[in-house]
Amino acid sequence: MVEEYVGVRFAVVFESKEPPKDEKIEELIKWCRLYDELSLAPSYGQGSGGNLSFRTGAGFVITGTKTFLGTVRQEDLVLVEKIDWECDRPTIHVHGLKEPSSESMLHDALYKINPEVNCIMHGHDRIVMEHVEQLGVPVTKEERPYGSVALMEEVLSLMPTNYLVMKNHGIISMGKTIDEAGQLSLKYHEKALILDK
Ligand SMILES: [Zn+2]
């Protein structure tokens, strides 16, 4: 798996430089730390290979690009208010200090297509990917560059499912709540660890 950082594939408009405030932020941060502890989102040098988000009334709150999940703080989170798909390049309107995760378009599309989903977690769970066939989870057909529209389309083609693997890349886990999305990713991680013995 090669996932070199090449920068975000969209334009970002900062509506304000205010980091998001929401009562669920603490819970998201708890899961960010757990992803780091369990190596579900290993470092690629400039940040952790993974991104977590939850839906709010105003859009969704997501980890910023180049963020280390183990030491994430409120200032590393970004509120994505809306994405304008009509421009030459998708334009993301945000509130916060950082640029949003490079997978923000994917999160946005998944929230749109899954109205019952309120939390999305993406990690690079190596153990799950090594045992993906035995686990029987849906996998995208082709490897696509991260942050691309092609990757987004591959993932959307697997719907409906709350858990999937992006070929040679990582996992996506979704739930009605932050806890549900997190627990689902742990369930597959633990199953994979048993297969690994
Ligand atoms: Zn990734």
Domains annotated for the chain, with CATH where assigned, are 11-196 (3.40.225.10)
If phi > 0 it is left, if psi is from -120 to 50 it is alpha, else beta; for residue 45 that is: left
Distance 8 CA to ligand 1 centre (A): 12
122 CA from centroid of ligand 1 (Å): 7
Place of tokens 């977690």: 121
- How many whole angstroms separate alpha carbon 22 and alpha carbon 24? 5
- Is 96's pLDDT higher than 70? yes
Å from CA of 195 to ligand 1 middle:
23
Instruction: Give the distance (Å) from ligand 1 centre to CA of residue 19.
Output: 23
Confidence of residue 49 (pLDDT cuts 50, 70, 90): very high
Give me the pLDDT at residue 8, please: 53
pLDDT of residue 3: 46
Residue 4 has pLDDT above 60, yes or no: no
CA of 194 to the centre of ligand 1 (A): 24
Q: How far is the CA of 21 from the centre of ligand 1 (A)?
A: 25
- How close is the Cα of 1 to the center of ligand 1, in Å? 10
Tell which residue, 43, 34, 46, has the closest CA to residue 99: 46
Amino acid letter, residue 47: G
* Alpha carbon distance 118, 180 (integer Å): 10
Q: CB of 80 within 8 A of CB of 58?
A: no
Residues 8, 14, 18, 23: is their CA dihedral positive or negative? Answer: negative
**pLDDT classification of 5: cutoffs 50, 70, 90:** very low
Residue 1 pLDDT greater than 80, yes or no: no
Average pLDDT, the chain: 93
Ligand 1 centroid – CA 124 distance (Å)? 6
For residue 135, give the amino acid letter.
Answer: L
Q: How big is the chain, counted in residues?
A: 197
**Residue 97 neighbours by CB under 8 Å, 6+ apart:** 17, 19, 64, 75, 78
The residue that leads in pLDDT, 148 or 92, is 92
Task: Provide the token pair at 36.
Answer: 């780091």
Pair 37, 73: CB distance under 8 Å? no
Mean pLDDT of 119-134: 96
Q: Which of 51, 147, 70, 58 is nearest to 102 (CA)?
A: 147
For residue 86, which phi and psi values (nearest 5 degrees)? -80, -20
Instruction: Tell me the pLDDT tens digit for each residue of 55-86.
Output: 999 999 999 999 999 999 999 999 999 999 88
